[in-house]
Amino acid sequence: MQLFQLQLKLITFLVFSVSTGILYSQNKTITGRVIAEDLETVPFASIMINDAVQVGRTDLNGFFQIDIPVSEKKILFMFAGMESTTIELADTCDEVELVMMFSRIYDFKTLKKVDRLRKKRIKKLPALHKQAFEKGLFKTDKACYTQKFISYYKKK
């Protein structure tokens, strides 16, 4: 009887361990393309999660395919000469088509003024996305993610 109970406990423990491991390790595949404001491809851009873990790079034509945990919603894209871009995925989003902004130098301007100029540029990104769709660069005319503005200026 004790041997049976011990075996039952062992089997129960193994079932829970394996099922927890399977649930924890579920990934989803995200594919997409990254282009710049001038509708040129962005080759070899870094793709990161958790602001530190590199999960992939774009190829020479700006295309990518990455595997990320199902629970991960934020993805960071970085490339020299471009502003770092953080996006937040919608639950149904598995195709990311991103327009990255060029990094600019704003000499002799306050951070508040720079933020206003950057906000204007970010507001133009959906129109650029649609333009890329019309030229056949993107598969969809709207993004399935949100892109939040990150301010340089901190209010006191």
Q: Residue 146's closest CA among 112, 116, 122, 120?
A: 122
* Residue 21 in this model has a pLDDT that exceeds 60: no
Q: Is 2 helix (H, G, I), strand (E, B) or coil?
A: helix
Torsion of CA 22, 28, 29, 30, to 10 degrees: -160
pTM of the full structure: 0.80
Spell out the domain ranges in the chain.
28-147
Distance between CA atoms of residues 70 and 67, nearest Å:
9
Class of domain 28-147: mainly beta
Model pLDDT for residues 61-102, shown as the tens digit of each residue: 999 999 999 999 999 999 999 999 999 999 999 999 999 999
